[in-house]
A and B are shown apart, each in its own frame.
Chain A
């Protein structure tokens, strides 16, 4: 049972958390994504053997989502941190959310915005 350090609550047992997704996953622009790109987003994951960034949620605690740097083989957790762009004060300090290199879509917020407030 892992011990995960929530950035707000401190080290807690794994059972208080929910694994979300590999942090590198980005939602493609739905308007331009072909079926392959959309299917990759829905169904395919890198499933890395080794160290990776992940999104976890402290569901049985503060309810916040944050980043975990974990080795999927040894389960060693190299660190946890606030998500850049997270709506908390710490998240705003950590800066805006950025798309990692290699993905043609920017952060999801821009992808789905496309004219907020216009009539249907």
Chain B
């Protein structure tokens, strides 16, 4: 099929004919000009079938001009390597070297082997997947059906695209640079208000670019250019062309997507978040299709789009057009097309429409059939009052169905609507707070009215009393709109929603099945749910529903419009929050020392920490085992800097801690440390940690690394809102101190080599003791706490001195063969001692008694957070998951983490009675160990019971033992 060019030799206000461009579409090389959109270039090339519809695979062509375009979604590869798999052709500026393909239809939209699906349409109406294809199972058909639907293929590779986002605070934002918006922005700026003007086109003017009604004595598009020049020179005006307002959110927040072409690697859109004091919406109106048989064929186009492609791109969409209309736009369209050399025929729904002096006019008639499956070849026209049909040969059907005001942003802002019968459309009912709508979006279709409304709104926004005259447009005839719903021909297929392939019959079906609410209609038929959000289909659908229910449209109402107004890229949402800017990794003060030691780093709760330090080519497991054994037999050095550190000071610090923690702390002596739990008000263990008392009024809390910030937040909440009368302040100093643990039986030998003025003997600084001292003039804190179960000294210095201390300790430890200890080995060491990791060996239900800590509940007099909850019956009931150890009965079969202990119920089904929380190979004991929380675990432990466990289709057997596998008496700690 040959395609002849529809481009006129001259004309097209957007074009730069001196710059021809070439591109490829469906394998064919085509030409265009700078200033073309992909859509206008394709239209000019004579290509008619540009897509296949979503459900029925019907051939489709170009309908519209802007973001409302429902059909022409294409796969675009740019010359610089960018790839947009679902670009709307009307929004893509043509670039040289583009390679464009269709997104639906196999092998292509032009020749689609799935085209036969259209003949199956009686089987696949709206909601078919609840009725047909159900037996024997929907899942048999689902994959096939999913393959046949869909618009586009996701690219294989994702690009790491970034774009910094912008934030602004502006007293007035005007959305839309058509006549109303320009008048508003100009008036407000002249009145001295700071204004931001946003428009989704690269050139200002809106409708004026297509229909340049004369304003203040010059053509409308020239007037628009002059106003923009004036505003661009104004210091208080920000212009954002090529920017779509995606939505309005609470408290005047506008989100905008600005499209500025940048090289590869940058996201196609930059997001703006603007807090607007006031908003003027001049968002215009979108032309509505008419619903008649086969109104979806390629070559059926919006009349506004036909005029726009002619005026702005010099493309004559058809030499023999039929203009189907119900308002004055039809006449104007016919005249403009004729002036470019076409021979139009007018079909007017209005019976009283006077015949046009130059073109054949069929008044009181409608199109009842469109011929030409892959491109319009002719139509059938019939009088509405009955009578014989006429066949007319044509190559274009330009449809002027009326205007639908764009109310989306008004509704985002919580605005109300009313139905305006004269234009058969909804308009805003008053402003939505500080958001006011003007112009065509407000139902005013005459340019003169748009200018006045915009001008007045601009002055109002500036609270100005200026005697500034509004711009004046040449008068236009009054707007009348024929009300049309559909042809009353039940067998005909009349399309309502192009993108989701919804017909008038689907709406009828929905009503038959009692889906009569507009919300149900939408969801049952999927009308208005495609990526075009029903911009061309919502109102027609509502009209049909209202007609069918015999109720006024105002009563039927609309569904809710929600952001975004048009689809936009996730890369734009992410902005530059990628990689380390999204999730910054925190580095240890001694990071470089660990690197030097050959550490393998991993992310532990946001900290980049050494997992292990493989030496001499050994593998990870070998390194871990070596580090464990070295700690047990010699001495090791561990970087514990991420450990939480919260300083609590004040006269009431002790009372405060008594009320907050499970354990009593006011009786802790200065220089002593206690292991404590912090509970939630529900009695669940939130964190474990240690608290050291430095002085009467000074404590140091040490929550676990992963809970440091959380515990600080809890401390602050109780301090500020729970017990504000207590005299206490808290400071999170976690990152202000570097902490290193020297741990192992030889630890003291190493630490005593530091020139410290304190006695580090077991008598002077016993286990769970704390002291503050100085090293070379730098504060040094020493805590005798151990997470390994060996003799340990935790040394803390201000973080800046961390690396120096670390290096010093390495030197002092070298004669003892001290090794660096990684986090993975630490996990094994602590498990051998039965030390829990809250959140791993506990779940959201674990209470202190489940871990064996019952004393404070019995003996502590003061109320503390969570105490009342521990008094519940459920806290004392049998069956609670309790911490135990497991010893596998088959020596070479370690029990995996996550294995569930089970019993069988009467029906023989497995019932979980707890699970394994931590499991490792213990090099110290030479066999696997596991910690678990099991129902009535301690009773099982006392009995030495053997239990069954299940994991990934395998069962295991183990004996329940004490969770303390190594040195149960804790002698090695107290050295």
Spell out A's residues near B (CB within 8 Å): 1-3, 14, 20, 27, 30-31, 33, 35, 38, 41-42, 55, 57, 59, 63-65, 74-75, 77, 83, 85-87, 91, 96-97, 108-109, 111-112, 114-120
Contacts and interface: CB of A to CB of B under 8 A. Distances in A.
Given A117-B655, A120-B859, A108 B251 contact: no
B869 interface: yes
Interface in B842-883: 859-864, 867-869, 872
Contact of A64 (B664, B682, B720): B720
Q: What are the 6 A-B residue pairs with the smallest beta carbon separation, nearest first?
A: A30-B868, A3-B251, A112-B863, A65-B720, A109-B723, A87-B724
A109 B722 contact: yes
A119 B273 CA distance: 58
A2 to B, nearest CB: 5
Contacts of B859: 120
A97 B681 contact: no
Nearest to A84: B724
B972 interface: no
26 contacts: A1-B250, A1-B253, A1-B273, A3-B250, A14-B250, A30-B863, A30-B867, A30-B868, A55-B721, A57-B713, A65-B716, A75-B250, A77-B251, A85-B725, A96-B725, A109-B722, A109-B723, A111-B863, A112-B723, A112-B862, A114-B862, A115-B862, A118-B861, A120-B664, A120-B859, A120-B862
B860 A116 contact: no
B724 A97 contact: yes
Contacts, number: 89
Contacts of B275: 3
A63 B731 CA distance: 11
Contacts of A33: 868
Interface centre among B252, B682, B721, B723 (most CB of A within 10 A): B721
Contacts of B720: 64-65, 83, 86-87
B717 A57 contact: yes
Interface of B: 249-253, 273, 275, 414, 652, 655, 658-659, 664, 666-667, 681-682, 713, 716-717, 719-726, 859-864, 867-869, 872
Interface centre among B860, B861, B868 (most CB of A within 10 A): B868
A120 B860 contact: yes
Contact of A108 (B414, B723, B872): B723
Given A14-B250, A65-B721, A120-B861, 7 more contacts: A1-B250, A1-B251, A3-B251, A33-B868, A65-B717, A74-B414, A109-B725
Contacts of A38: 868-869
Contacts of A75: 250-251
A63 B716 contact: yes
B867 to A, nearest CB: 6
A14 to B, nearest CB: 8
B667 A120 contact: yes
B253 A117 contact: no
A109 B718 CA distance: 10
B716 A117 contact: no
Contacts of B716: 57, 63, 65
Contacts of B719: 87
A96 B725 CA distance: 9
Contacts of A31: 863
Contact of B863 (A57, A114, A119): A114
B861 A108 contact: no
A118 B652 CA distance: 14
A11 B16 CA distance: 48
A111 B716 CA distance: 19
Nearest to A28: B868
Nearest to B868: A30
Given A109-B724, A112-B863, A120-B861, A1 B249 contact: yes
A114 to B, nearest CB: 7
Contacts of B664: 120
A70 B749 CA distance: 62
Nearest to B722: A108
Contacts of A57: 713, 716-717
A48 to B, nearest CB: 18
A57 B720 CA distance: 10
Nearest to B719: A87
A57 B867 CA distance: 25
Contacts of A65: 716-717, 720-721
A120 to B, nearest CB: 5
Contacts of A108: 722-723
B748 to A, nearest CB: 34
A116 B658 CA distance: 9
Contacts of B655: 116-117
A74 B722 CA distance: 30
A120 B252 CA distance: 56
A20 B717 contact: yes
A13 B533 CA distance: 29
Nearest to A85: B724
A63 B655 CA distance: 22
B717 to A, nearest CB: 7
A85 B250 CA distance: 31
A41 B250 CA distance: 31
B724 A91 contact: yes
B714 to A, nearest CB: 11
A69 B872 CA distance: 35
Contacts of B724: 83, 85-87, 91, 97, 109
B863 A42 contact: no
A33 B681 CA distance: 14
A86 to B, nearest CB: 6
Nearest to B856: A120
Nearest to B654: A117
Contacts of A14: 250
Contacts of B869: 38, 42
Given A2-B251, A118-B861, A120-B859, A27 B722 contact: yes
B861 A42 contact: no
B536 to A, nearest CB: 31
A33 B872 CA distance: 12
B663 to A, nearest CB: 10
B863 to A, nearest CB: 4
B842 to A, nearest CB: 19
Contacts of A118: 861
A61 to B, nearest CB: 13
Contacts of A35: 872
A63 B667 CA distance: 30
Contacts of B722: 27, 108-109
A90 B605 CA distance: 37
Nearest to A111: B863
A67 to B, nearest CB: 10
B682 A42 contact: yes
A83 to B, nearest CB: 7
A91 B720 CA distance: 10
Contacts of B273: 1
B534 to A, nearest CB: 26
A115 B861 contact: yes
B250 A2 contact: yes
Contacts of B652: 116
